[in-house]
Homo-oligomer: A and B are copies of this chain.
Amino acid sequence: MEAEIITIGDELLIGQVVDTNSAWLAEQLNLLGIKVHQITTISDSHEEIIKTLTEVSRHADIILLTGGLGPTKDDVTKLALCEFFDTYLVFNQDAYENVERLFRQRGFLMTEINRQQASIPAACTPIPNPEGTAPGMWFEKDGKIFISMPGVPFEMKSIFINQIAPKLAKVNNTLYILHKTILTHGVGESFLAQTIEAWEDNLPSNIKLAYLPQPGVVRLRLSAVGNNKSLLENQLNEEQVKLLHIIPDLVFGFDNDSMESVVGQLLRMSGKTLSTAESCTGGYIAHLITSIPGSSFYFKGSVVAYSNEVKVSQLNVARQAIIDNGAVSEVVVRQMAEGVRKNLQTDYSIAVTGVAGPDGGSEEKPVGTTWIAVATSEKVVSHRFHFGEHRDRNIRRAALAALNMLRQELK
C-alpha cells in the first residue's frame, strides 16, 4: 500500500518553518507497512490544494494532509476539501464541546473564530482532537482514503497515534517494510563505506543500505521489504550481527537510541552517578543528558563554567594553570573534571573546554580545538580534538565526543 503526504502552508514555502511533520508521519506509516511514495509541500491556496489532491490520488491509496486547519485567516484547507469532496460545512456538537473544554481549562475566553473550528465537512468522519481546537477529518472516495490533520506537531501526533494509526492498521495488512538502524561515531561516511564494503555487497536483494551522516554520527539504515514479518526481522538481525563483527568499536546504538540515551542506560544499570563541567559546550551536554526522562536517577548536575573566574571559584581550577596553559588545555580540562566530580560528589564526571568560534581562535589553538576529560574515582582520561569552524556543529560534536568517551569508560 502506498501513501502520499501533502503538507500545506505558505510558511513552509518561504522557509519560515521546517516541516517536521512529514518525517514523523513517514516513520509511523512505515511501521504500519505503508510506503510513502512522495511528500509534496504546497501553499495555503484553494486551487493548489484541489489540484494536488487530484494529482496524488491517482497513484496512492492513502493521502494524508497536514496543516491549514488553524483558527486564523490564512487557513483554507477545510473549504478546499468541501469543494474536492463536493460537500459543505456543518456544525459539529462534539467538536464544539471540545473547543469549549480546552478554553475553560486554559482559562482563556472563547472567540468567534474558535467557534468556527467546530464546523466540519458533512462528508467526513470527524476525528476528535483532544489536544487542540481543530478536529481531524477522514474521507473515503473511489476506494481511497484521505485524512486531514492539523499542522501543529503535537496535535497531529496525538491524533495519528491514538486514532488514525489503529484505523489504518485494519485497512492494510499485506506488505511489510522493516528498518534497522545502526548508529556509529568516530569516522566519516566514506571511510566507513570502504570498511564495510564486502558486507554491503553481500546483502540480500530485498535489503537496502543507506548512509545518513550528521555532525559526529553516521547512521547506517537497513531497510527490508517482504510479506513475512518474522522472516524480515531475522534477516535484519543476522545482518546486524555480521556488521557488529566488522566495526564493534564504532557502533554505539541502534534505531531510536541516541548517545545520551545509551550513556543514560549504562549509568542507570551500573547505579553510578554523573556530573559535567562545561565551558565551550555551555550546558549542551547537561541538556542532552536531562532530555532523557528519568535522568535524575544518575545525573546530579553541571557547572557551566563559561568564564575563567567560574572555573576557579566553582571548579577549583588553579588560576596559575589557566595563566600558564590557557583555558583550553589538558591541565585545565583535567582539573575541571576532577573539580566537578569532587564538588558534586559523583562517580563519574565529564569536562569540556574548547574554542567553539567564530572568535577566540589562535594559530596554536584554532577554532574547533577542544579538550575533553572523563574522571572516575581512579583516573582521569583526556583527549584533544579538532572539530571544525562552525560554532553550532563544534558544540554538537564536542558533546557527542565527550559522551562517547564516558560510554567507553562505562562499558
Is there an interface contact between B40 and A13, defined as CB atoms closer than 8 Å? no
A267 beta carbon closer than 8 Å to chain B: no
Bound complex: CA of A17 vs CA of B391, how far in Å? 22
Is there an interface contact between B22 and A27, defined as CB atoms closer than 8 Å? no
Is there an interface contact between B72 and A189, defined as CB atoms closer than 8 Å? yes
Could you say which of B179, B306, B393 contacts A14, with CB atoms under 8 Å apart?
Answer: B179
A101-138 CB contact bits vs B (8 Å, 1 = yes)? Answer: 00000101101111000000000000000000100000
Specify the chain B residue showing the minimal Cβ separation from A158.
B390
Is there an interface contact between A301 and B310, defined as CB atoms closer than 8 Å? yes
A313 beta carbon closer than 8 Å to chain B: yes
Specify the chain B residue showing the minimal Cβ separation from A292.
B391
Could you say which of B10, B35, B290, B357 contacts A306, with CB atoms under 8 Å apart?
Answer: B290
Give the copy number: 2
Q: How large is the interface on A (under 10, 10 to 19, 20 to 34, 35 or more residues)?
A: 35 or more
Q: Which residues of B contact A22 (CB under 8 A)?
A: 12, 15, 19, 41
Is there an interface contact between B190 and A113, defined as CB atoms closer than 8 Å? yes
A20 beta carbon closer than 8 Å to chain B: yes
Q: Which residues of B contact A287 (CB under 8 A)?
A: 281-284, 286-287
A323 beta carbon closer than 8 Å to chain B: no
Is there an interface contact between B209 and A74, defined as CB atoms closer than 8 Å? yes
Is there an interface contact between B17 and A212, defined as CB atoms closer than 8 Å? yes
A11 beta carbon closer than 8 Å to chain B: yes
Could you say which of B11, B114, B278 contacts A210, with CB atoms under 8 Å apart?
Answer: B11
Is there an interface contact between A310 and B306, defined as CB atoms closer than 8 Å? no
Enumerate A7-35 residues with CB–CB distance to B below 8 Å: 9-20, 22-30, 35
Q: Which residues of B contact A208 (CB under 8 A)?
A: 10, 74
Is there an interface contact between B36 and A39, defined as CB atoms closer than 8 Å? no
Q: Which residues of B contact A300 (CB under 8 A)?
A: 306-307, 309-310
Is there an interface contact between A190 and B72, defined as CB atoms closer than 8 Å? yes
Specify the chain B residue showing the minimal Cβ separation from A36.
B13
Specify the chain B residue showing the minimal Cβ separation from A273.
B307
Specify the chain B residue showing the minimal Cβ separation from A28.
B15
A314 beta carbon closer than 8 Å to chain B: yes
Known: A15-B24, A16-B212. A38 touches B30 (CB 8 A): no
9 A-B pairs with least C-beta separation = A282-B290, A283-B286, A15-B27, A283-B283, A15-B26, A302-B304, A39-B41, A301-B310, A15-B23
**A-B pairs with beta carbons under 8 Å apart, 29 shown:** A10-B208, A11-B221, A13-B36, A13-B38, A13-B39, A14-B36, A14-B177, A37-B43, A38-B40, A38-B48, A39-B41, A40-B41, A70-B189, A72-B211, A111-B191, A114-B190, A278-B283, A281-B290, A282-B291, A283-B285, A284-B290, A291-B392, A300-B309, A301-B304, A303-B304, A309-B345, A313-B343, A313-B345, A314-B344
Other than the given A108-B191, A286-B287, 12 more pairs (CB < 8 A) read A11-B212, A13-B35, A14-B30, A16-B23, A17-B23, A18-B19, A71-B190, A111-B194, A293-B359, A299-B307, A301-B306, A313-B343
Task: Please list the residues of chain A having a beta carbon within 8 angstroms of any beta carbon in chain B.
Answer: 9-20, 22-30, 35-44, 48, 70-74, 106, 108-109, 111-114, 133, 152, 154, 177, 179, 181, 188-191, 193-194, 200, 208-213, 219, 221, 223, 276, 278, 281-287, 289-291, 293-296, 299-307, 309-310, 313-314, 343-345, 356-360, 390-393, 395
